[in-house]
Structure formats: C-alpha cells, structure tokens
C-alpha cells in the first residue's frame, strides 16, 4: 500500500494517534519489553553445517526441526487485507550493504522500519530488484500454539537458506544505548547495531530507538528534539485534548520508546561509518579498569549486566544477570566464536579493552547517564 508512512500508520487503528510534537504514537499490545525465554524461535540451517558453523542455541526452539517454514498466511487473512512493503538497506558500508524487503501487516510497523533501516535515495527504488533478505512482520497475529514445537503465541522463524524471517505474536521492536551514544563531543555513527569489518566500523541501521521515560529537553535535548513528525512513539501517554506528551507517565509501561531517523540528530555522521576503533568499552555494573586482551575476552563472554525495568518484560526491579557477549538471546554461534573474532580485530588494529561502569549499584540500574558519559570520557 502506498502513501505517507505517518499518515498510513494513523488510519486503521484506534490506538494510533499523533502528539503535539508531530510524532506518531502507537500502543503495543501485551508485549511491553523483550521476552526471549517466552518466544519460540527456529533457524533453518540446511547448508550451514557444511560451512563449519556450529550452533549455540539458548532459546526454546529446535534448530533442526523439519516442519515447513512458518506460514505467512496471517498477512492476507486479517480483518483488513492490507500489507505495507518497504524496500530498504542494511549496513552503511557499501561493501557489506544488503537489500532488505519488509512486508508488514501494520502501517505502524512499516513506519518503524522506514525509520530504523537505511532509507533509499529517490533513484534507488527503481534499481532495487530482488531483495537479499525478506522479513514478513505479522506480529499483530498470534501463531498457532497447536503447531508442533510451538509453546507460546509468539514465534520468530529465520530461514538462512531462503533468507527469510517471519514474525508472529509480538509487536515489540528492540533496545539500544541511545542516550549514552548521543554526545555533543563526538559524531554519532549509531546507537546500537554495528559491524566491525576490514573497512572499519559501520552502522547496520538507519535510525535510533530511544527510551522516553522521564525524557526532558534539559537533560537530553537532541533526543527530545528528534521526536517530531515522522518519529514513532511507543507506549507514551499524552493529554487527549492538548496532545501534550507526558514522558513521566508509566501507566502503560516503563518501556516507552521513540524511533526516529538518525539524521534527526544534529551531529549524526552520514554515511554512518568510521575507522577501526582504538578503544573497546564493555559497559557493566563493575569497577572501571583497563583490560588485557585475555581479560577483555573473559568479561565479553561473561557479559555481566542487569535486567532492568523498561527493557525486559515483567521486570520491576533491577536484577543482576550474565548474558554471554552481552547478547545471549540473539546469538547463534558459541560465545567463544564471537570472543575469538573480537580478539582478532582488537589485536590486529591495536585496540585497548576497558571495563566501564554503567552507573548505579552493582547489578542495578544504569544510573545517571551524564555520569556514565563522564566516566567513559575519563577512561579515554
């Protein structure tokens, strides 16, 4: 379906509206944070074993299951037979850029992906051709729990051979260290997903996904000003008469978010690429210290962090946890594989490892981000 993304996102759903700041507001249904332990996930490997790839699987799904890949029927059997298609790109490094097609059942998701993926120039859609990867986002529809291997109403299926992904039963998007990365003293390459290749560092995404809880213009002016027309706000509350946003309101969830194009930040570096890093900082609730290469690998594999309200579903108070490679829920290979890759890059390019303090008490919240920024600056 064609049209302005913001206009389309507002039409079909009563929970969608627009605030005084011009940003589109949407209300997630049930999912108020990421919940990997309650998600059925599967990966179709086919030829990957022949490539020497060994899986490390922590979710409830079965990597080798032989059932047909999750059906995309939900995209054409809803109450309104509409789909929204985005043709965009991932990775700002031209040598590693891929073409991605996102097929969504909700216009709001289409707008979200328009903001978060790299947007094509006016000429590029004509030359797009076939995508390198396709995502079918039917998250507003629950999967069939009676299907073999399904244990919940949420399912994320990834077929690497066909280069396809199907999302069912979840409308939650993701998370990133947006506040800490928005620093007037540095150009912004990205706030979350990055690649470190032979060419240096590159951002995979084309947007930022910021927490909005207690957001103020005084504390975080760049993020505050980025929330305008074209931005997607999730789970925020505003006055229905004045449309004034109340960023302190947690009545829906503490996990209030905003997704906006990266160029909404004044000091964004476009294209979002940079040289090889000289410092690698592992943010953890621990003491600040300089690390040897071996120590960096140890702390990287350990992934000492915290489950915090506003990110993890069902969490009300901070809970200390260990998440391998600081992303156990998202990795397929064994953690030592990623550690070896990081060690090789750091050794080759002379990068120094640091254990950084993420604020707050040990195992606690991230604390004041200004203080975290000062600590990082001091380390460097």
Domain boundaries, the chain: 5-168, 178-273, 278-363
The 8-class DSSP code of residue 292 comes to -
Q: Which tokens sit at 338?
A: 């990623």
Q: How far is residue 306 from each of residues 193, 303, 343, 370, measured CA to CA in Å?
A: 19, 9, 24, 19
Q: What is the pTM of this model?
A: 0.82
Question: How far is the C-alpha of 247 from the C-alpha of 257, rounded, in Å?
Answer: 10
Name which CATH class applies to 5-168: alpha beta
Sequence-ordered list of residues with C-beta below 8 angstroms from that of 1, at least 6 positions apart, any chain: 8, 82, 83, 84, 85, 107
**Domain formed by 178-273, architecture:** Beta Complex (2.170)
Q: What is the pLDDT of residue 61?
A: 40
Strand, helix or coil at 111? helix
Using one digit for the tens of pLDDT, what is the confidence trace for 323-378? 899 888 888 889 999 999 999 999 999 999 998 765 544 443 444 556 666 666 76
Specify whether the CB–CB gap between 365 and 307 falls below 8 A: no
Rg (CA), the chain: 21
Question: How far is the C-alpha of 84 from the C-alpha of 102, rounded, in Å?
Answer: 8
57 pLDDT above the threshold of 60? no
Using one digit for the tens of pLDDT, what is the confidence trace for 71-97? 466 565 555 567 889 999 999 999 999
Q: Which tokens sit at 22?
A: 């011009």
The helix (H) or strand (E) run that includes residue 265 is: none
């Amino acid at each position: 379906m064609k049209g302005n993304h913001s206009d389309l996102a507002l039409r079909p759903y009563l929970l969608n509206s627009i605030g005084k700041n011009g940003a589109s507001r949407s209300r997630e249904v049930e999912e108020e944070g990421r919940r990997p332990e309650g998600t059925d996930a599967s990966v179709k490997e086919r030829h990957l074993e022949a490539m020497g790839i060994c899986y490390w699987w922590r979710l409830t799904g079965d990597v080798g299951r032989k059932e047909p890949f999750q059906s995309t029927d939900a995209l054409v059997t809803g109450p309104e037979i509409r789909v929204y298609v985005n043709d965009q790109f991932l990775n700002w490094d031209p040598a590693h850029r891929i073409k991605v097609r996102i097929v969504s059942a909700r216009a709001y998701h289409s707008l979200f992906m328009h903001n978060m993926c790299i947007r094509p120039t006016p000429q590029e859609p004509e030359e797009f051709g076939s995508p390198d990867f396709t995502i079918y986002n039917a998250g507003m529809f629950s999967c069939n729990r009676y299907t073999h291997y399904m244990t919940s109403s949420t399912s994320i299926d990834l077929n690497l051979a066909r280069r396809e992904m199907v999302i069912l039963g979840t409308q939650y998007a993701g998370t990133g260290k947006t506040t800490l990365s928005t620093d007037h003293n540095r150009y912004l390459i990205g706030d979350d997903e990055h690649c470190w290749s032979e060419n240096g560092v590159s951002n995979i995404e084309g947007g930022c996904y910021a927490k909005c809880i207690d957001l103020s213009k005084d504390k975080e002016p760049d993020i505050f000003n980025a929330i305008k027309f074209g931005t997607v706000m999730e789970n925020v509350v505003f006055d229905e008469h004045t449309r004034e946003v109340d960023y302190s309101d947690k009545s829906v969830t503490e996990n209030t978010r905003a997704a906006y194009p990266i160029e909404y930040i004044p000091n964004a570096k476009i294209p979002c690429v940079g040289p090889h890093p000289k410092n690698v900082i592992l943010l953890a609730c621990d003491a600040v210290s300089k690390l040897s290469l071996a120590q960096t690998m140890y702390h990287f594999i350990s992934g000492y962090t915290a489950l915090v309200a506003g990110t993890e579903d069902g969490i009300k108070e901070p809970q200390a946890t260990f998440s391998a490679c600081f992303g156990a829920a998202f990795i397929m290979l064994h953690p030592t594989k990623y550690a070896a890759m990081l060690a090789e890059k750091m050794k080759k390019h002379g990068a120094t490892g640091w254990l950084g303090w993420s604020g707050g008490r040990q195992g606690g919240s991230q604390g004041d981000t200004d203080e975290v920024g000062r600590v990082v600056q001091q380390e460097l």
